[in-house]
């Protein structure tokens, strides 16, 4: 560090402004620092407005645009070294720029909450449980009648007598732990970290012998350099087994692995498979954890103690000591794109991160996104395919029920009911899929045609019969169910259409001798409901599982042999350019739950439009030909992934404000298209749902064949818009590579 003049620190602060703020480093704090320590990536406390806030140093300089006597000193330095390694810090900055998000907000979104608040980033405080002297010399008689306690003791013993609390919590209840503590057999200790010695065996359970196509795929993966692999394998073809074996190889090189999955709480089976396989510290990172648990897992990854991190979207920002592999399961899942605030795509960042670290990224799916398929077509990703199920299970047979020609009761055709009946009688399980929760999507007046609308959104209220309420699924508005039409006073109101609650009711009446279990966002709100659902499904006993897309998420139920898709038409109506891709993925994923065990499966699809080209292609040829067809339509229409797309969104309770703002955005963009070539503008247009939560929403679409031209334009426009936005009644944002319009 130079001794001439004060050192100026560029500090990112969580604020909506697209800039950093300059502060000086006072002499007394400078003396506390190690001279060779690089400052970017360290947190500081600074005065901002009238508050002291936590900021992150992103740069150091000797000069500032602001006069030296106007610059404030930083108040304190929180860290003694950067909180994340340089490679990750660069990724943070890269993503803030690429997604055109204010740098301070972006950087702070990428950190665990407690670090945003200034909590020390040191792992001095990881709770562990270790055997006491009494526990080590345990008399085998003492726990003779307490099998669970004995299991926990054995577990701790196998792990050299000391195990992290987080690991114990994932396998044992706290009651069991406390019983051992009360007997004086184990005690809690805080230790910095416990590193496994490299002689420890990596596997708990030997890996499966791969079939030939799995072996070819695994052999193609080079663990020593960057490559993106698209592992396209039908559901049940053994993709997870390939992830496990690739990770095993990474662990043998003493490298860590990051595994991204769309949702953890809904797929406890996945986590269990990883824990069963590896004798290595595995931490999970997802939104249901407490802030403390998240920080602890984050620190364990950073220190290298956790060998495998299993997490959802935001886990892409986890620091590692020595990352060797990134795996992303169900890469097509839209949950990988954050839809508000810092709108990053974890899928795209996974590839960027792998490239910067020179390690492989494996993206797996039965129904790959059109983006990834296009990347394979262009030679950017290596395409690995598994086209048959492992375990010699056969692919299910599809059949189409034309709702126009059938008698229907509560949305279910007679043919379908007969098939359900036959399956239950054969002691097998049925899965009924309907992507609409609630009892009915509409409350309709039979006399005058009035329907119950949300007062805040362009949307109808859904009838939730059991709760006696009408609820908006877009903004959460709710009211008590009414018995009289507010328009004509008639009491002839009817719940029109079907939701999962109604299907459940109807099936329960129709098949009273079998359990009918519903799973959707409403049913799983009750604690233990999801566990009960899995218990019923896993028991293998005949039953009907009714639910929304939660059912499509990678579950493996051996005895489900019939999958019914109640309404294939709902996905055909949307104006979103991705809707057919999404529908193809969803239907294929749901269908893939059928016949995963010994008995082969069947899929029944109910539709009013069996001749619709998308459905026709999906049923008769499968997802891949459909995807290639959709890709060529995208190419003709000059849509992503053939052109880069960004949208500027604006919303306000005063529609004119939002429109005017986007007109201005258009004008500014147009000025720049003189110097930046190949940009097309479309809009301002109303968003697909124009009014939502009381605000009118508009978008300006900007496309270009050249991604860096688009980036350049967005940077210019964002800067100019920020200066022009004066009205606090308006919200605006930029969405790069948007998933929805
Ligand atoms: P996917 O991830 O593609 O859905 P999985 O890896 O979950 O597929 O495999 C589906 C089923 O087949 C699982 O029960 C798994 O244990 C089994 N399986 C996978 N690979 C093999 C193999 N090589 N030999 C035997 N069984 C396998
Ligand atoms: Zn009426
Ligand atoms: Zn609403």
Q: Each residue of 426-453: pLDDT tens digit? A: 999 999 999 999 999 999 999 999 999 9
State which ligand 1 atom lies nearest to the alpha carbon of 210: 23
Measured from the CB, is residue 240 less than 6 Å from ligand 1?
yes
Residue that wins the pLDDT comparison between 601 and 604: 604
**Window from 104-113, 141-150, 450-459, 643-652 with minimum mean pLDDT:** 141-150
Q: Is the pLDDT of residue 546 over 70?
A: yes
What does the pLDDT average to over 321-327? 97
Structure tokens at 395: 């692919």
Q: Which of 333, 390, 392, 555 to mutate to test the pocket of ligand 1 (most atoms within 8 A of CB)?
A: 390
Distance between Cα 718 and ligand 3 center (Å): 30
What does the pLDDT average to over 340-364? 97
State which ligand 1 atom lies nearest to the alpha carbon of 242: 6
pLDDT band of residue 607 (cuts 50, 70, 90) is very high
Distance between Cα 605 and ligand 1 center (Å): 26
Measured from the CB, is residue 218 less than 6 Å from ligand 1?
no
pLDDT (0 to 100) of residue 195? 55
Q: Is the pLDDT of residue 196 over 70?
A: no
Q: Nearest to residue 350, comparing CAs of 374, 328, 377?
A: 328
pLDDT (0 to 100) of residue 455? 94
Residue that wins the pLDDT comparison between 278 and 394: 278
Q: Which of 209, 238, 362, 385 to mutate to test the pocket of ligand 1 (most atoms within 8 A of CB)?
A: 238
Ligand closest to CA 694: 3
Percent of all residues in the chain with a pLDDT value above 70, rounded to a whole number: 96
Is the alpha carbon torsion for 643, 644, 650, 656 positive or negative?
negative
Look at ligand 1, atom 11, and give the residue with the nearest C-alpha.
236
pLDDT (0 to 100) of residue 501? 95
Question: For the CA atoms of the chain, what is the radius of gyration?
Answer: 28
Q: Is the pLDDT of residue 197 over 60?
A: no
Q: Is the pLDDT of residue 718 over 50?
A: yes
> Which residues, by Cβ under 5 Å, contact ligand 2, an ion?
445, 447-448, 450, 485, 487-488, 490
Distance (Å, whole) CA 545 – CA 562: 10
Domain 644-736 has CATH 3.30.70.600: yes
Q: Which of 210, 241, 243, 596 to mutate to test the pocket of ligand 1 (most atoms within 8 A of CB)?
A: 241
Distance between Cα 130 and ligand 3 center (Å): 52
Distance (Å, whole) CA 657 – CA 238: 53
79-135 pLDDT, tens per residue?
Answer: 888 999 999 999 999 999 999 999 999 999 999 999 999 988 876 557 888 888 888
Q: Buried b vs exposed e over 117-140: b needs ≥16 C-beta within 10 Å?
A: ebbebebeebebbbbbeebeebee
> Which residues, by Cβ under 5 Å, contact ligand 3, an ion?
454, 456-457, 472, 474-475, 477
CA dihedral 119, 122, 126, 130 (to 10 degrees): -150
Measured from the CB, is residue 358 less than 6 Å from ligand 1?
no
pLDDT (0 to 100) of residue 4? 56
Report how many helices (DSSP H) and strands (DSSP E) the chain contains, helices first.
22, 32
State which ligand 1 atom lies nearest to the alpha carbon of 214: 23
pLDDT (0 to 100) of residue 391? 65
pLDDT band of residue 32 (cuts 50, 70, 90) is confident
Q: CA dist 479 to 454, 467, 627, 655, Å?
A: 10, 11, 42, 26
Is the alpha carbon torsion for 663, 667, 669, 670 positive or negative?
positive
What does the pLDDT average to over 400-406? 92
pLDDT band of residue 194 (cuts 50, 70, 90) is low
pLDDT (0 to 100) of residue 2? 43
Distance between Cα 411 and ligand 2 center (Å): 24
Q: Which of 207, 211, 230, 236 to mutate to test the pocket of ligand 1 (most atoms within 8 A of CB)?
A: 236
What does the pLDDT average to over 204-216? 91
Residue that wins the pLDDT comparison between 396 and 334: 334
Measured from the CB, is residue 215 less than 6 Å from ligand 1?
no
Look at ligand 1, atom 6, and give the residue with the nearest C-alpha.
238
pLDDT (0 to 100) of residue 44? 94
What does the pLDDT average to over 154-181? 85
CA atoms within 13 A of residue 41's CA, in its CB half-sphere: 17
State the chain's maximal CA–CA distance in angstroms. Answer: 87
Structure tokens at 340: 């508000």
Distance (Å, whole) CA 21 – CA 672: 27
Look at ligand 1, atom 5, and give the residue with the nearest C-alpha.
238
Distance between Cα 463 and ligand 2 center (Å): 17
Average pLDDT taken over every residue of the chain: 90
Q: Which of 233, 247, 276, 391 to mutate to test the pocket of ligand 1 (most atoms within 8 A of CB)?
A: 391
Ligand closest to CA 393: 1
The fold for domain 214-391 equals Rossmann fold (3.40.50)
Asked if the domains at 214-391 and 393-437+499-634 fall in one CATH topology, the answer is yes
Distance (Å, whole) CA 115 – CA 299: 11
Q: Which region, left, alpha or beta, applies to residue 693 given φ > 0 means left and ψ of -120 to 50 means alpha?
A: left
Look at ligand 1, atom 4, and give the residue with the nearest C-alpha.
236
| Side-by-side strand order, sheet with 162-164 | 162-164, 126-131, 186-191
Measure the CA angle with vertex 200, ends 196 and 205; round to 5°: 115
Ligand closest to CA 270: 1
**Window from 35-49, 88-102, 124-138, 484-498 with minimum mean pLDDT:** 124-138
Query: What are the structural domain ranges in the chain?
Result: 7-116, 125-192, 214-391, 393-437+499-634, 441-496, 644-736
In the beta sheet, which residues pair with residue 444?
451, 494
Phi and psi angles of residue 160, each rounded to the nearest 5 degrees, phi first: 60, 30
pLDDT (0 to 100) of residue 721? 92
What does the pLDDT average to over 169-180? 88
pLDDT (0 to 100) of residue 1? 44
In the beta sheet, which residues pair with residue 271?
none
Strands (E), 134-274: 162-164, 186-191, 227-233, 256-260
Is-contact 463 470, C-beta < 8 A?
yes
Q: Is the pLDDT of residue 345 over 60?
A: yes
- % helix, strand, coil for the chain, step of 5: 35, 25, 40
Structure tokens at 339: 């839809």
Q: Nearest to residue 397, comparing CAs of 563, 552, 565?
A: 563
Measured from the CB, is residue 208 less than 6 Å from ligand 1?
yes
pLDDT (0 to 100) of residue 211? 92
pLDDT (0 to 100) of residue 115? 94
Domain 393-437+499-634 class, CATH top level: alpha beta
Q: Scanning the structure block, which residue is given the tokens 């009118």?
A: 696
Distance between Cα 453 and ligand 3 center (Å): 8
Taking the domain 125-192, which CATH number applies? 1.10.10
State which ligand 1 atom lies nearest to the alpha carbon of 386: 3
Taking the domain 7-116, which CATH number applies? 3.40.1440.60
pLDDT (0 to 100) of residue 393? 65
pLDDT (0 to 100) of residue 559? 87
Measured from the CB, is residue 597 less than 6 Å from ligand 1?
no
Q: Is the pLDDT of residue 35 over 60?
A: yes
Distance between Cα 676 and ligand 1 center (Å): 50
Distance (Å, whole) CA 644 – CA 712: 13
pLDDT (0 to 100) of residue 199? 55
Q: Is the pLDDT of residue 198 over 60?
A: no
């Amino acid at each position: 560090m130079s001794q001439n003049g004060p050192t100026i620190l560029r500090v990112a602060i969580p604020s909506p402004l697209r800039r950093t703020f300059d502060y000086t480093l006072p002499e007394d704090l400078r003396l506390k620092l190690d001279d060779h320590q690089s400052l970017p990536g360290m947190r500081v406390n600074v005065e901002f407005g009238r508050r002291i806030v936590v900021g992150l140093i992103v740069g150091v300089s000797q000069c500032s645009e602001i006069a030296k006597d106007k610059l404030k000193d930083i108040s304190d330095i929180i860290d003694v070294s950067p909180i994340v390694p340089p490679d990750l810090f660069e990724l943070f900055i890269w993503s803030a720029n690429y997604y055109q998000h204010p740098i301070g907000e972006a950087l702070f979104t990428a950190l665990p909450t407690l670090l945003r608040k200034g909590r020390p980033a040191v792992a001095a405080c990881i709770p562990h449980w270790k055997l006491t002297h009494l526990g080590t010399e345990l008399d085998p008689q003492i726990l003779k009648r307490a099998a669970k306690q004995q299991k926990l003791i054995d577990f701790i013993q196998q792990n050299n007598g000391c195990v992290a609390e987080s690991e114990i919590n994932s396998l044992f209840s706290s009651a069991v732990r406390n019983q051992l503590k009360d007997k004086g057999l184990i005690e809690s200790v805080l230790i910095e970290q416990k590193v496994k010695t490299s002689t420890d065996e990596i596997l708990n359970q030997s890996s499966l012998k791969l079939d030939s196509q799995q072996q070819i795929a695994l052999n193609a993966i080079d663990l020593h350099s960057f490559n993106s692999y698209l592992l396209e394998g039908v559901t049940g073809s053994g993709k997870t087994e390939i992830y496990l074996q690739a990770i095993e190889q990474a662990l043998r090189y003493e490298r860590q692995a990051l595994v991204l999955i769309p949702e953890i709480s809904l797929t406890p089976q996945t986590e269990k498979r990883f824990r069963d396989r590896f004798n290595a510290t595995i931490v999970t990172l997802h939104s249901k954890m407490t802030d403390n648990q998240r920080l602890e897992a984050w620190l364990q990854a950073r220190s290298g103690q956790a060998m495998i991190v299993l997490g959802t979207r935001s886990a892409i920002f986890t620091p590692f000591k020595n990352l060797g592999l990134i795996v992303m399961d169900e890469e097509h899942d839209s949950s990988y794109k954050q839809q508000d605030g810092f709108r990053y795509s974890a899928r795209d960042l996974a590839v960027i991160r792998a490239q910067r670290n020179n390690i492989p990224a494996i993206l797996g799916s039965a129904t790959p996104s059109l983006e990834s398929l296009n990347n394979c077509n262009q030679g950017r990703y290596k395409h690995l395919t598994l086209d048959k199920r492992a375990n010699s299970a056969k692919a299910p047979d599809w059949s189409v029920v034309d709702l126009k020609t059938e008698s229907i009761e509560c949305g279910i055709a007679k043919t379908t009911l007969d098939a359900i009946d036959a399956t239950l009688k054969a002691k097998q399980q049925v899965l009924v899929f309907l992507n609409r929760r609630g009892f009915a999507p509409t409350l309709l007046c039979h006399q005058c045609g009035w329907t119950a609308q949300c007062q805040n959104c362009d949307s109808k209220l859904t009838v939730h019969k059991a709760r006696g309420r009408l609820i908006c699924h877009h903004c959460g508005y709710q009211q008590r169910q009414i018995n009289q039409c507010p328009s004509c006073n008639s009491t002839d109101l009817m719940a029109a259409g079907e939701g999962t609650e109604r299907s459940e009711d109807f099936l329960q009446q129709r098949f009273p001798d079998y359990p009918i279990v519903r799973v959707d966002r409403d049913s799983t709100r009750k604690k233990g409901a999801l566990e009960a659902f899995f218990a019923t499904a896993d028991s293998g006993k005949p039953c009907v599982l009714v639910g929304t897309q939660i059912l499509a998420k990678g579950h493996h139920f051996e005895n489900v042999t019939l999958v019914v898709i109640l309404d294939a038409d709902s996905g055909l109506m949307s104006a979103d350019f991705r809707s057919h891709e999404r529908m193809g993925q969803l239907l294929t994923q749901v269908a893939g739950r059928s016949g995963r065990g010994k008995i082969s499966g069947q899929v029944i699809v109910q539709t009013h439009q069996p001749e619709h080209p998308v459905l026709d292609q999906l049923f008769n040829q499968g997802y891949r030909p459909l995807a290639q067809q959709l890709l060529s339509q995208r190419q003709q229409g000059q849509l992503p992934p053939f052109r880069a797309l960004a949208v500027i969104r604006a919303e306000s309770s005063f529609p004119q404000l939002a429109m005017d703002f986007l007109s201005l955005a258009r004008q500014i963009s147009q000025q720049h298209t003189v110097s930046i070539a190949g940009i097309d503008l479309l809009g301002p247009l109303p968003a697909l749902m124009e009014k939502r939560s009381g605000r009118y929403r508009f978008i300006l679409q900007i496309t270009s064949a050249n991604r860096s031209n688009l980036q350049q334009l967005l940077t210019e426009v964002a800067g100019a818009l920020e200066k022009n936005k004066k009205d606090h009644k308006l919200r605006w944002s930029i969405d790069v590579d948007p998933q929805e319009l």
